[in-house]
Amino acid sequence: MDIRFEGAGVSFGARVALEPLTLGISGKRIGVIGLNGSGKTTFARLINGLTKPSVGRVTVNGRDMADEKAAAPDVGFIFQSPQNQIILPIVRDDIAFGLKRRGFTKTEIEAKVDGVLARFGAQALADRRAHELSGGELQVAALCSVLATGPSILILDEPTNQLDLKNRALVEKIITGLPESAIVITHDLDLVADFERVLLFHEGRLAADAPAAEAIARYREIAA
């Protein structure tokens, strides 16, 4: 993963959501922490191209993410509410939908859908209705839908939000085992405690860019 922020910032009118930021991100696991409204999600949406920078630019593996045509599906995004991310009623159909829109053949789609479900041991979810899935199952189904298209970078926004202990452990295990690079935005400090690098945002600014223990300690000071 090679993500570069080149003076990239976001403002909505007079309100600054993210101060201009110059930063390079590489590595396998990056944590992003901070209080509500600190700019974490804006930071993540810039990487995916969902939010365009008001100033500066963001590149991912050399591609400018503000350019919709150039922005390849290098970055997968798992939202805070996975129930809103699954857009077709049946899990298998939903996973296949993104692939179909990318022009894969029927045989390729079937192989990829079966492959990604098998990867997470989630074959039993294939023919289930999204509406009936539990929080943990929804999170796994959303992961399958995103990873089926083969992004090299995955952004997870509050992946353990509203999950019970069992499902939280499941999601944590999945994140740990992902071969893809992952950027994890979370209030769950245990989730990022072993990460090589953690970014702390505060009031729209990068307040710390440090190993997990140091960034978490700084966060506790800010939150106190």
Q: Which residues bind other proteins (CB under 8 A)?
A: 48, 50, 68, 71, 73, 76-77, 79, 81, 83-90, 93, 96-98, 101-102, 129-131, 145-146, 149
Minimum distance of other proteins from residue 19's CB (angstroms): 23
Minimum distance of other proteins from residue 207's CB (angstroms): 26
**CA nearest neighbour of 54 among 105, 103, 17:** 17
**CA nearest neighbour of 76 among 153, 183, 159:** 153
Minimum distance of other proteins from residue 49's CB (angstroms): 8
**CA nearest neighbour of 62 among 150, 2, 151:** 2
Environment class of 123 (CB within 10 Å of its CB; exposed 0-12, middle 13-18, buried 19+): exposed
Contact 42, 157 (CB under 8 A): no
Nearer to other proteins, 73 or 115 (CB): 73
Nearer to other proteins, 159 or 212 (CB): 159
Other beta carbons within 10 Å of 10: 23
Nearer to other proteins, 21 or 133 (CB): 133
Cα separations in angstroms, 182 against 16, 64, 81, 140, 151: 26, 19, 18, 15, 10
Nearer to other proteins, 16 or 90 (CB): 90
What does the alpha-carbon distance between residue 159 and residue 62 come to, in Å, rounded to a whole number? Answer: 27
Nearer to other proteins, 143 or 198 (CB): 143
